[in-house]
Amino acid sequence: MDLFNDIPTVSELTKQIKQTLETNFEKISVQGEISNFKAHVSGHWYFSLKDKNAAISCTMWKGFNNYVFFTPEDGMKITLNGKLTVYPPRGSYQIDVRSMKPAGVGELQAAFERLKKKLSDEGLFNVESKKPIPAFPKKIGVVTAIGGAAFQDMISVAERRYPLVELVIAPSKVQGSGAAESIAISIKKLNKKNDIDIIIVGRGGGSIEDLWAFNEEIVARAIFNSKIPIIAGIGHEIDFTIADFVADLRAPTPTAAMELATPNQNEIASFIEDFVESSEQRVKEKISYSHIKIGRVINSYGFKLPENFVKQNYQKVDNLVYKLFNNIDKKMAYTKNNLYLLIKSIESFDLKKTLKRGFALVKQDSKFITRAKNFNSKKPAILKFYDKEIKLD
C-alpha cells in the first residue's frame, strides 16, 4: 500500500492555492505606496505596492494602463482596483491591476513639486532659455482640442485683432490617458514646418486631474526643445502647470494667449496716424527753427556791410523758401494718401465687412473651402453670410 497517494504534488498544491486565492480575491481595492516601478518596452507596467509592514507585486497590462491619466512614480501613494492572481512557476501571488488613481489630490501636488524641482535644477525654467515672441506673426500653430471652446475663442480673437494671421491647428488630446504624448507629438509636428512663427499650447479650465497632461515631463521637454517660441495658455488665471514654467511666455487663459500672440489692428492704424501727425509737426518745427536761424545770421553784424548784396538776393531766398514749403506740402499730401490706402487695405481684410458686401464663406469638416476642387458635394456644408449661417445637407 502506497502511503503517499493522498499527498499532493507541488503543482497540485499550487493549483489549489491559485483557485482559492483567485476565487476569493477576484475584485479587490487596496491602497499603498509605489516602489520599483518599471515601464516595460512592451507597454506593460510592473511595480510593488507597499506600506511600512508589507509589500505585494503588481502587474498592469498595456490595455488597462492606457486609461491612467498620470505617470506613476516611486513614492507615490495610490489606490488601485484589480484581482489577485498566482504565478505557478514561481509559486508567487500578485495583483492584476485593472485601474489606478492617486490617493488624493495631495499626491498629485507632491508629484508636481518633485518634477518642478527636477526640471528647475536642470535649467528648463531659466529666463536665458526663453525665446522672444515675434511682434507680427504670419502663421501661428495651435496645439489644443479642435472641438473645444478654447479653440473657438482663439479663432475669434485672431479674427478680431489681426485678420492677416493664419492659424495652423495641430489637434491634440488635452485630458485623460495619452494626452501628454499627444501634446508632445503635436508640438514636434509643428516644429517640422519652416513657416510657423509662434506655437500656442492651450486648453480651458478644469481640475488638477483634468490639467494633469500639462504637468507631465514629456510635455515639458517637448516645449523646452521646441525651436519655435511657445506661449502656454492653460486653464484659468489661478492655474499653474509645469508647461507654464517651461514655456517662453505664460498667458492666464487660451484667449489671453492669442491676444499676446497677435498685434491689434486698431492700434497699428492709430500708430500710423500718430506717426504721420508727429512727423509733420517735427518737419514744420525744423523748418521754423532753420528760418529763424537764417534770419539771425542775415541780421548779424557781418551781413550789415554787404546789405545791398543781401537785398539783391532776398527775392531769390524767398523763392527758394516758397519752393521748399511747396515741396514739403506735396510730399506730406503724397504720404497721407499712401497711408490712407494702407489703412483701407488693412480694413479690407475685416471678415465681417467682406461678408457684408455680399460674399459668403463655405465651411466643410470645420474647415473653410477656398477652392472648388476641395468641395465635396456629398458632404454637408455651411454657408456663412453676414447675417446668418445656412446648413446644406
**317-361: pLDDT as tens digits:** 778 888 888 888 888 888 888 888 888 777 767 777 777 777 888
- Are 328 and 279 a contacting pair, CB within 8 Å? no
**pLDDT at position 259:** 94
**pLDDT at position 232:** 95
Measure the CA angle with vertex 185, ends 174 and 108; round to 5°. 45
Q: Which three cell numbers stand for residue 79?
A: 489606490
- Are 296 and 302 a contacting pair, CB within 8 Å? no
Average pLDDT over every residue of 236-263: 93
**pLDDT at position 306:** 64
Q: Residue 375 — very low, low, confident or very high, per pLDDT cuts 50/70/90?
A: confident
**pLDDT at position 1:** 42
Average pLDDT over every residue of 288-314: 72
pLDDT for residue 288 is more than 70: yes
pLDDT for residue 4 is more than 60: no
Residue boundaries of the structural domains of the chain: 10-103, 110-261, 265-337, 351-392
Calculate the alpha carbon distances from 388 to 153, 160, 356, 392 in Å.
Answer: 19, 18, 11, 13
* 177-213 residue pLDDT tens: 889 999 999 999 999 999 999 999 999 888 888 898 9
Q: How far apart are CA 62 and CA 80, in angstroms?
A: 15
Coil/strand/helix, residue 228: coil
pLDDT for residue 96 is more than 80: yes
**pLDDT at position 391:** 85
Calculate the alpha carbon distances from 229 to 141, 186, 190, 261 in Å.
Answer: 10, 14, 11, 10
Residues across the chain: 393
Calculate the alpha carbon distances from 343 to 11, 280, 298, 350, 357 in Å.
Answer: 88, 18, 45, 12, 18
Q: Residue 309 — very low, low, confident or very high, per pLDDT cuts 50/70/90?
A: low
**pLDDT at position 254:** 94
Q: Which three cell numbers stand for residue 181?
A: 504624448
* Cα dihedral: 177, 243, 142, 343 (round 10): 160
pTM (global) more than 0.95? no
H helix or E strand, kind and range, residue 188: helix 179-191
Q: How far apart are CA 132 and CA 129, in angstroms?
A: 10
Q: How far apart are CA 67 and CA 59, in angstroms?
A: 15
Q: Out of 24-33, 67-76, 116-125, 183-192, which region has the weakest mean confidence (pLDDT)?
A: 67-76
- Are 351 and 336 a contacting pair, CB within 8 Å? no
| Chain mean pLDDT for the chain | 86
Fold of 110-261: Rossmann fold (3.40.50)
Q: Which three cell numbers stand for residue 43?
A: 507597454
Average pLDDT over every residue of 284-301: 80
* 98-120 residue pLDDT tens: 988 888 777 888 888 888 999 99
Average pLDDT over every residue of 125-152: 93
Q: Which residues pair with 383 in a beta bridge?
A: 362, 390
Q: Which three cell numbers stand for residue 278?
A: 508727429
pLDDT for residue 141 is more than 70: yes
* 206-228 residue pLDDT tens: 888 889 899 999 999 999 999 99
Strands 92-102, 77-87: pairing is: antiparallel
Q: Residue 161 — very low, low, confident or very high, per pLDDT cuts 50/70/90?
A: very high
Percentage of residues of the chain with pLDDT beyond 70: 94
Helix 217-225 and helix 179-191: axis angle, to 10°? 10
Look at domain 10-103 and name its CATH class: mainly beta
DSSP labels for 155-181? HHHHHHH-TT-EEEEEE---SSTTHHH
- Number of C-alpha atoms within 13 angstroms, CB side, residue 235? 21
**pLDDT at position 229:** 97
DSSP labels for 319-341? HHHHHHHHHHHHHHHHHHHHHHH
Q: How far apart are CA 130 and CA 123, in angstroms?
A: 11
- Residue 331: which residues within 8 A CB-CB, separation 6 or more? none
**For the chain, how are helix, strand and coil distributed in percent, rounded to 5?**
45, 20, 35
Q: Which three cell numbers stand for residue 94?
A: 500578485
**Which amino acid would we find at residue 19?**
Q
Tell me how far apart the terminal alpha carbons of the chain are, to the nearest angstrom.
87
- Residue 341: which residues within 8 A CB-CB, separation 6 or more? none
Q: Residue 58 — very low, low, confident or very high, per pLDDT cuts 50/70/90?
A: very high
User: Quick one: 181 exposed, middle or buried, by C-beta within 10 A (0-12, 13-18, 19+)?
Assistant: middle
Q: Residue 312 — very low, low, confident or very high, per pLDDT cuts 50/70/90?
A: low
DSSP labels for 69-137? SS---TT-EEEEEEEEEEETTTTEEEEEEEEEEESSHHHHHHHHHHHHHHHHHHTTT-GGGPPPPPSS-
Q: Phi, psi (5° rounding) for residue 332?
A: -65, -40
